[in-house]
Amino acid sequence: MELKTLSEFPKDFLWGAAISSFQAEGNWKKDGQGPSVIDQTRKEDNTTSFDDGVDFYHRYHDDIRLMKELGLKAFRLSISWTRVFPTGNGKPNLAGIEFYKNVIHELKQNGIEPIVTIYHFDYPTQLVKQYGGWLSRKSIQDYENYATYLFKELGDEVTYWITINEQDHVVKMPERLGIGDGKADFSDHKQEAYVANHNMCVASARVIAKCHQLLPNAKIGPALSYQAYYPATDQPEDVLAADDLATLTQNYILDLQCRGHYNPIFKKYLVDRGIFPDFPTTDLELLKENRPDFIGINYYSTDDVSSLSAQQKFGKTEGLPVPNKEYGIYAKTKNRTLPTTKWGWTIDSVGLRIALQRLYHDYELPILITENGFSNEESLEKHDGVTTVSDLKRISYLHDHIKAVHEVISSGIPVLGYCVWTLMDVISGHSGMNKRYGLIYVDRDNDDLKQLKRIKKASFYWYQSVIKANTEEV
Ligand code: BGP
């Protein structure tokens, strides 16, 4: 719908940018950091290891100076669980918590609101060894103890908390659950995936309860990968497949977390496959009573979906790192109208508006955009003696997506903030330094750390003017 008028962004809108610990900090194992499941993906072919990151661990002073210059109102970072508890439980590592206290204090001193993700992919390996990690209910208590420690140590300066980053992806990537050697297939581990999912939901509810009890002014919610799915044709079967996929990738988690029940379509999916988890009914009461304060979403692109018959392979999934087809339900198909990034992700700002509208319609909770950004292969250029990156495609992507947020806000949907992924280039989840998202270029490549120098891209100056004007219309 075209809107006749747009309202203003709220005065306290959280104009932000984001990173995660394992992609940015580097200094793996330093000062007592313990191993995490991410270690398994450190040396995969065609990627750069996460070992060195972009040295946020030592360079955070300079990075915060740049954030200040950018005018950021908020900065989303994640805590490395194993810096704070090297084995995941037991005694805390004081050097670990000290690092985060210092970063957060410096952010606050500079008027930047920290948005703290408690757990972003890097689950402690020792908990997998001790009892199978998220597959065991013991994981619930350890996650609660860890989060409670963070609330006590960091709660004076942190208002916004994210429970778990992209639980929807974690449960479908066996290696992120500590299963297998990095090559395990979700199809062979569905039962474990949905046990883990249940335990993660219960653990989140317990942590939400704890947060509300200890920090009454804080706000806490999940960050899910959330998108819009389009039927590939107007055939009703494709519409159904797109609907089912939304249920089985995102709504099944949100229905548990925000409504305290198993979505009936998801439940039937599990029952048909004989994998509906066992749990005490008190879990659902706990979930009902401890809803998140907001829903965080990581939005990058949309997918077209067509129905896929079961043939001989009922329930088999294909596609990595997360499935792109499941026999008997759906197959993601190529959209013929939208442009894509070099990695084939559609560029779809209208999809963000659709996603936000659907999300609010379904759950009626404020929304925080915890990640949104444009990836490209980039290198430094010289213009009139100035070294930079003219990332005009990123500016256009961000402009259009922020405009979608503007429209959604104008319709009366509460959006708390918007975080660009990423502040500076970091190691991509699967494509090393080839895939850059930053507003700031980091001068390192896959094999050579160089000086790790920070160089502002054109998008840095553009986003600076957006924040200053409190609108994308600059
Ligand atoms: C999200 C993750 C981030 C980041 C981003 C981009 O799923 O939360 O950690 O990796 O995606 O992904 P990639 O680097 O694979 O392009």
Quote the ipTM score.
0.98
3-state secondary structure (DSSP) of residue 443: strand
Q: Ligand 1 pocket test: pick from 428, 433, 436 the residue with the most ligand atoms within 8 Å of its Cβ.
A: 428
Active site residue 407: no
Measure 301 CA to ligand 1 centroid, in angstroms. 12
| Set 153, 326, 371, 472: catalytic member | 371
Q: Ligand 1 pocket test: pick from 115, 118, 298 the residue with the most ligand atoms within 8 Å of its Cβ.
A: 298
R_g over Cα of the chain: 21
Length of the chain, in residues: 474
The H-or-E segment that residue 230 falls in is strand 229-231
Give CATH superfamily name and number for 14-469: Glycosidases (3.20.20.80)
Query: In the prediction, which pLDDT does 383 show?
Result: 87
3-state secondary structure (DSSP) of residue 319: coil
Domain ranges of the chain: 14-469
Query: In the prediction, which pLDDT does 465 show?
Result: 98
Measure 193 CA to ligand 1 centroid, in angstroms. 20
Q: Which residues line ligand 1 (CB under 6 A)?
A: 20, 23, 165-166, 225, 298, 371, 375, 421, 428-430, 435
3-state secondary structure (DSSP) of residue 219: strand
For residue 231, which of 140, 332, 134 has the smallest C-alpha distance?
Answer: 332
Query: In the prediction, which pLDDT does 40 show?
Result: 73
Measure 397 CA to ligand 1 centroid, in angstroms. 17
Q: Determine if the pTM surpasses 0.95.
A: yes
Write the residue with the smallest CA distance to atom 3 of ligand 1: 429
Query: In the prediction, which pLDDT does 48 show?
Result: 72
Q: How far apart are CA 117 and CA 151, in angstroms?
A: 12
Divide the 474 residues of the chain into consecutive groups of 10 and give the mean pLDDT of each group.
Answer: 97 98 96 92 65 96 98 98 98 98 98 98 97 98 98 98 98 94 88 98 98 98 98 98 98 98 98 97 98 98 96 87 94 95 97 98 98 98 93 98 98 98 95 95 93 97 98 95
For residue 229, which of 132, 106, 115, 358 has the smallest C-alpha distance?
Answer: 358
3-state secondary structure (DSSP) of residue 81: helix
